[in-house]
A and B are shown apart, each in its own frame.
Chain A
Amino acid sequence: MTPTVVLPVIVGGLYAAGVYLLLDRSLTRVLLGFLLLGNATNLLVLSAGGPAGFAPILGYSEPEEMTDPLPQALILTAIVITFGVSAFVLAMIHRSWRLVHQEVVGTDEEDRRVAARSATDADELDPDDLDPEDRAAGHADSLHTPDGDDMGVDDVDLPAGTGAR
């Protein structure tokens, strides 16, 4: 029962490289990172099964000398799942490229819009008000006030730069 140092080192290295790639914005690199992470996890499960032994076939070897078969069964399942998901991600990357000629993680435009809106509103309007949103034009409580100029910055779909022009 001598613990091997090779597997943990490989697992650690694969995890490090996988996480590094996963943090990239390019989707192909993200996919590669995911594949490395999947392999690292499979090796981790393999090393969880203890030291290697003979094939776990009844009559082929004694039960004490067999490798634990359960982690290998788990890894097989995990490999199949990882394979299927990788194929799907690849298809999505291809689709993304076909649609917009871009294979990076996209920006959440609505999120940018909300962020940009509260920033500009806070600059121009009363900061004491709880909800910047309610100060925009055209609401039920602004029947008496004419629609103000704020509408220009509080409009649809503008990313941060164009909104503040």
Chain B
Amino acid sequence: MPTTPHPASPQVPDVAGRFGEFGGRYVPETLVYALDQLVVEYESAQADPQFQVELDDLLKNYVGRPSPLYHAKRLSQVCGGAEIWLKREDLNHTGAHKINNTLGQALLTLRMGKQRVIAETGAGQHGVATATACAHFGLDCVVYMGEEDIRRQAPNVFSMKLLGAEVRPVTSGSRTLRDAINEAMRDWMSSVETTHYILGSVVGPHPFPMIVRDFQAVIGRETIAQCRLRFSGLPDLVVACVGGGSNAAGMFFPFVESTKVPLVGVEAGGRGNQPGDHASPLTYGSPGVLHGSFSYVMQDEDGQTCDVHSMSAGLDYPGVGPEHSYWKDSQRVTYTSCTDSAAMAAFDALASNEGILPALESSHAIAEAMRLAKTMKKSARIVVCLSGRGDKDASELARLKGVKFG
């Protein structure tokens, strides 16, 4: 008999880093000390009003927050249904939501007295945001990036170098985000006493999924305030794309208790539903352990992580944050997946109807919102997290569309 799941609580994780049964800390003993140190420092920062004042000032005057909530009227008209509203994280400094987290963690780095920062990056947005925060605070910065992603996201690689970061190519495994995380973890194993690892998503061992979610939750909090101001209520649906899941976690978390607002997370459906053709662990995977956390993952029968595919480097990841697994099993969030081609069509629709080039990652959320808008009445409102801008994707898009420059 199917059982009714426990409702999702915002009072997670527990002290062991558990979101229901998900999360935890499956890491080599060498890293436990640093993770414990991070927990202590984060708690002390939260209790320090000066920390929040400093972060808020940076978010306002450096990042440009609050990011606008924009009513995409022409796109809504084209779809012919619900109103589509965009939370414009693409307008942040560095062009994506990633900066919300890297500034927060850079402040924690300073508090811990560490001078060196490492990070992983897939699409390069987190790498750029980390390099930016490090340049701002005068911290040394090394970014690990898969060779395949270096090729796909060349403009971001150049930006990181301009910002003074060292970009280390990762040639192991699938040469994408997953391998970049492995290499960053290995660096941290040897450098843990002097280095902070600024993880870019709500993945990894406790306390990363909690800390990154908390720093990204500004997205959802602002959205709620803006909805109240603009249409005196909450939206009828909220949509965000999910790779590791940081923009979605930041958008969804403040809505968890507003159970009348349906939340939809959109994974990368890639070329289709066959193993290796997509990056949708919540849709097609099973619970397991990857990168220090227990969560849904694409794995084979032995627990080996599977290779995945998405045209979008930021979603090309076989795992997902443990809180998303918790929201899935508690049925608070519905997860679905969107193919490369549907995301590409959404990219074109937003570009031509609104004059906005979305990141390929965010295009997955746009695609699902466009699909759902058609099924909803005209008075309904959908908020989509437009997590990043698409400039970085221009050359990869040209390649995918068969266009040659010059």
**Same complex:** no
* Residues on A facing B (Cβ under 8 Å): none
